[in-house]
Every structure is written in C-alpha cells, then in structure tokens.
C-alpha cells in the first residue's frame, strides 16, 4: 500500500504458483549463481587499496526480465477472467515471481547483457565482470538484483549507470552504504564494514541487549561433547542462533572458531551448548563496533596465515584447521573447518607418503621383540 498521498494506491503483483510445477516438464535447472562474500570483501579491499569509490545499483522486479526457455502456461487470475474466454490460459514469454526457474532466467539475461557489452567474466567467480577500456577498468559484482561496482574512471561509471538504467528499470542507490546486512562506510582513510545493526537485532531477539559483556567468545580450554549428559535445550532456537553467528562471520572473523564449534551440536544441543552460545552473545555485546577495516598500503602484498588444533574434537578425535588471507592488515578470506580425518588416519597417510609404513611392516614381521604400533 503506497502512503503519503490523499488517495492511497494499492500495489499488486501477479505471482505464479511455482509449487505446482513439475520438474523435467515445467522446469529443468533452477540454480542461480550469486556472488560469494569473499568476492565482495575482495572487491572492497581492492577499492580501498586503489582509493576507488564503490557504487550500488538495484534492479526493480529483476526476475520479470528473464526470458523463459520452457513453455509455461498460467491460468487466469480469479476475479480477472476474460469474458467469453474463461477456459483460456496465458503463455508466458518472460518469468514471473514464484516460478522455480525465475532466478536462473534472470542470471542468464544479465549475463548475456554483460557479454554483449564487452565485459569479461571471471573464471573463478561467475558473478564478477570486468570491463577494460585502455587504462580504465570497471569491476561489477552481481548478487541477484543488487549490483556493486567500482572503477578508476568516473566517466566510465556514469556511462555504465546510464546504459544499465536505459536497459532495465533500476534504482541508483549512489555510494555503497548497506549491502546484504553489511554496513559499509567509505572514507578518505579507507573502507570499514560491520554488522552492528544485525548484532543488535540478535541481542534484542533474545532480550540480551545491554547485558554484561565478556572479553572472549569462549572459555579458554573448555571442551564440549555432543552427548554431555546435560538437559536438552530448544533445538530450533539454538539452530537459529548459530545460523546468525555463521552469517555474522561475514565481517567478524573473531567469532569464526566459536560459530564453527557450536555448529557441530545443532542436531541435539544441550544446555551446556546453549550456555556457550549465550557467552558469544555477551562477547558481541561488548564488541558491537567491531568490523573489518580496509586501508591502502604502500606495498600491497597478499599474506596468508594458517593453523591447526590437532585432535581437538573429543567425540571423534578430529582436528580443526583454519586460515586467513588478506592484503597486509586487511583480511579478505577466512575459514574454519573440522578435518574429515582423525589424527590417527592423518599419521597413517603421512607414513604412506614417505614410505615409512612399508618399512615398519617389515620390521614388525621380523623376530624383534619391539612392538611397533601405527
């Protein structure tokens, strides 16, 4: 409902009943690519290093631009039947919201537009497009109907905006300030990204806004198990909370380990697991203003760090590994994962790699008294 006028205008959208579509008949592929958060952070880091500005465009009703490859028919809407042709149906040429293939058709449409406009698609990131004209360069990242882009040439930026807005119905949001729940602040000294508002919403949801804060996300050296004997907690509430933590790691690598650890117990969380999750919330309360700061440096170098916590998991003796990469002080990629193999299995593979296993087996077959255990 549009407000602010003497005669409010009701807005309506025709939506298809996609739940009635049959796979293999009404649609085939539905998957549509979107930009990874690592790509977004890399783009921001590059812009900060080069002192470029990042802009934001939003496509209005993006899915309606996708051209359908399949034959799709929809019934006439109740109350809007054509008199004398009530039995007839509509044949769709373009996608409607609700169709299973709508996101994919939109991506195919925008990908075709970029290709015809001279953009080159990144081989490692299908939603990243680069346009080069002499010494000028324009970089565009696509996330469904949101486009963020940067360039070293202001004229190229304005021309890109003009071409896009003449082809599609768009909203020019100017400089990038807010994107996918991430707050972006562009200054002369660099670019700062955070999720302060998102954290505040999580704390409000659990009535913990303003609670007493703690200095660390987890208690040092605390070990947790899947089945610890404690009472079970609300699994739905726990999963929602951990899911929020995982999304928050987009700008907060300091809680990556805690979020990854707590995600192991989402199937049957106990009161101990939920208490650990609440501690993370208390840590977030004291670090609301934390985020990622991207600045320019004289000599830009890609630096990476990695570490492992061997046999850390008490349930299956698996290890935890983590890495972080970035330009000098600006972090772009980070990850934390539970290794699929136990420490014992890794040792065996290490021995195989260096040919030690065969040597030890030979010794074991001898009549020596020493016992060799792998």
SS3 category, 346: helix
3-state secondary structure (DSSP) of residue 270:
strand
| 64: nearest Cα among 30, 33, 29, 99 | 99
Q: Which of 199-208, 275-284, 327-336 has the lowest mean pLDDT?
A: 327-336
What is the C-alpha separation between 41 and 230, in angstroms, rounded?
A: 40
Cβ atoms of 144 and 104 closer than 8 Å: no
Phi/psi of residue 316, nearest 5 degrees = -135, 15
Q: What is the pLDDT of residues 24-63, one digit of tens each?
A: 887 888 877 888 888 898 899 889 888 999 999 999 988 8
Distance from C-alpha of 127 to C-alpha of 42, rounded to nearest angstrom: 13
Confidence of residue 341 (pLDDT cuts 50, 70, 90): very low
129: burial class by Cβ within 10 Å (0-12, 13-18, 19+)? buried
CA distance 148 to 57: 6
245: confidence class by pLDDT, cuts 50, 70, 90: very high
The answer to whether residue 365 scores a pLDDT higher than 60 is: no
**Residue 92 vs residue 222, higher pLDDT:** 92
- The closest of 111, 139, 132 to 49, measured between CA atoms, is 139
Question: What are the residue boundaries of the structural domains of the chain, listed by start?
Answer: 27-180, 196-295, 300-374
Give the model's pLDDT for residue 238. Answer: 92
What percentage of the chain carries pLDDT values higher than 90?
33
The string of DSSP letters for 61-129 reads TGGGGPEEEEEEEEEPPTT-PPTT-TT-EEEEEE--TT-TTHHHHHHHHHHHHHHHTT-EE-SS-TTEE
All residues at 6 or more sequence positions from 164 whose CB lies less than 8 Å from its CB, including other chains: 57, 147, 170
pLDDT exceeds 50 at position 339: no
State mean pLDDT over 240-247: 92
Higher per-residue confidence, 312 vs 15: 15
How high is the mean pLDDT of the chain? 81
pLDDT band at 350 (very low <50, low <70, confident <90, very high): very low
pLDDT digits (tens, 9 = 90+) for 310-322: 666 666 666 777 7
Residue 228 has pLDDT above 50, yes or no: yes
Distance CA 342, CA 363 (A): 25
Q: For residue 56, give the 3-state DSSP assignment.
A: strand
Dihedral sign computed on CA atoms, order 71, 77, 78, 83: negative
Q: Contact at 8 Å (CB) between 324 and 331? A: yes
Task: Report pLDDT for 320.
Answer: 72
Write down the pLDDT at residue 233.
Answer: 87
List residues bridging with 306 in a β-sheet. 323
Q: What is the pLDDT of residue 359?
A: 43
Whether the per-residue pLDDT at 303 is higher than 90: the answer is no
Across 326-355, average pLDDT: 51
Which H or E element spans position 194? Answer: strand 190-194
pLDDT at residue 55 in the model: 95
Longest dimension (CA), the chain: 100
Q: Is the pLDDT of residue 288 over 80?
A: yes
The predicted structure's pLDDT at residue 295: 85
Mean pLDDT of 342-364: 47
Least confident of 63-72, 224-233, 234-243, 253-262: 224-233
Of the listed ranges 100-109, 166-175, 363-372, the least confidently predicted one is: 363-372
Residue 204: partners with Cβ closer than 8 Å, 6 or more residues away: none
**pLDDT tens profile 193-224:** 999 999 999 999 999 998 899 999 988 877 88
Mean pLDDT of 332-348: 49
pLDDT value at residue 354: 44
Per the confidence metrics, is the pTM higher than 0.85?
no
State the Cα–Cα distance between residues 12 and 14, nearest whole angstrom: 7
DSSP-assigned states of every residue in 210-249: TPPP-SSSS-TT----S--SSPB--HHHHHHHHHHHHHHT
Closest CA to 44 of 157, 179, 155: 179
Which letter, b or e, does each residue of 235-258 get, where b requires 16 or more Cβ atoms within 10 Å of its Cβ? eeebeebbebbebbbbbbbebbbb
Output the CA angle 245-247-249, nearest 5 degrees: 75
For 149, other C-beta atoms within 10 Å of its C-beta total 25
Rounded CA separation 292/326 (Å): 11
- 182-187 sheet: strands from edge to edge: 178-179, 182-187, 190-194, 291-294
Give the pLDDT of residue 313: 67
């Amino acid at each position: 409902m549009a407000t602010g006028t003497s005669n409010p205008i009701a807005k309506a959208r025709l939506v298809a009943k996609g739940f009635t579509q049959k796979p293999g008949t009404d649609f085939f592929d539905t998957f549509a690519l979107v930009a990874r958060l690592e790509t977004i952070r890399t783009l921001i880091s590059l812009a900060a290093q080069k002192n470029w500005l990042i802009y934001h465009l939003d496509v209005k009703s993006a899915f309606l631009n996708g051209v359908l490859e399949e034959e799709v028919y929809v019934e006439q809407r109740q109350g809007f039947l054509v008199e004398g042709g009530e039995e007839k149906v509509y044949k769709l040429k373009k996608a409607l919201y609700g169709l299973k293939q709508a996101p994919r058709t939109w991506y195919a449409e925008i990908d075709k537009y970029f290709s015809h406009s001279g953009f080159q698609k990144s081989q490692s990131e299908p939603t990243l497009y680069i346009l080069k004209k002499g010494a000028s360069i324009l970089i565009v990242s696509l996330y469904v109907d949101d486009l963020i882009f940067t360039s070293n040439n202001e004229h190229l930026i304005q021309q890109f905006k003009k071409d896009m807005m003449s082809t599609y119905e768009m909203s020019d949001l100017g400089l990038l300030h807010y994107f996918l729940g991430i707050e972006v602040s562009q200054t002369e000294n660099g670019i700062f990204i955070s999720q302060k508002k998102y954290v505040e919403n999580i704390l409000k949801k659990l009535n913990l806004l303003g609670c007493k804060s703690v200095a660390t996300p987890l208690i040092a050296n605390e070990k947790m198990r899947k089945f610890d004997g404690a009472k079970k907690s609300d699994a739905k509430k726990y999963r929602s909370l951990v899911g929020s933590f995982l999304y928050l790691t987009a700008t907060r690598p300091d809680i990556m380990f805690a979020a990854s650890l707590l995600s192991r117990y989402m199937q049957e969380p106990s009161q101990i697991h939920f208490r650990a999750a609440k501690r993370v919330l208390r840590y977030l309360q004291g670090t609301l203003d934390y985020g990622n700061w991207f600045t320019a440096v004289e000599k830009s170098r890609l630096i990476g760090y990695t570490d492992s916590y061997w046999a850390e998991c008490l349930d299956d003796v698996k290890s935890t590994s983590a890495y972080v990469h970035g330009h000098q002080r600006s972090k772009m990629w980070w990850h934390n994962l539970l290794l699929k193999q136990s420490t014992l299995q890794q040792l065996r593979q290490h021995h195989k790699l260096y040919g030690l296993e065969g040597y030890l087996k030979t010794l074991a077959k001898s009549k020596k008294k020493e016992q060799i255990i792998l």
